[in-house]
């Protein structure tokens, strides 16, 4: 499923126009991005939590040349599914 499919399905379910549905979905995505960027978790009860995680600096190897490459520490987004979402899948 892609974003357009999601907009279509949510629009049908909520009886909202596709334009309004698109604005709502984009607002949710942007709010999630801003919240996680600040280092705060975005908790959606029953679905899961989006958090900012840190990866430590490390040394990797270029598979083509075999040369060692230094990778600096950086932040990444992570998603932890909620128990209801996990139970739905099992």
The model's pTM is 0.80
Per the document, the length of the chain is: 90
> Strands of 74-81's sheet, edge to edge?
42-44, 48-55, 74-81
pLDDT digits (tens, 9 = 90+) for 4-37: 999 999 999 999 999 999 999 999 999 999 999 9
Mean per-residue pLDDT of the chain: 96
């Amino acid at each position: 499923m892609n974003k357009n499919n999601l907009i279509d399905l949510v629009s049908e379910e909520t009886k909202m126009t596709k334009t309004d549905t698109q604005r709502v979905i984009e607002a949710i995505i942007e709010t999630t991005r801003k919240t996680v960027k600040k280092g705060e978790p975005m908790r959606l009860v029953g679905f899961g939590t989006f958090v900012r995680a840190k990866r430590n600096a490390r040394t990797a190897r270029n598979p083509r040349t075999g040369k060692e490459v230094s990778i600096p520490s950086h932040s990444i987004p992570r998603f932890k599914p909620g128990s209801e979402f996990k139970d739905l899948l099992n």
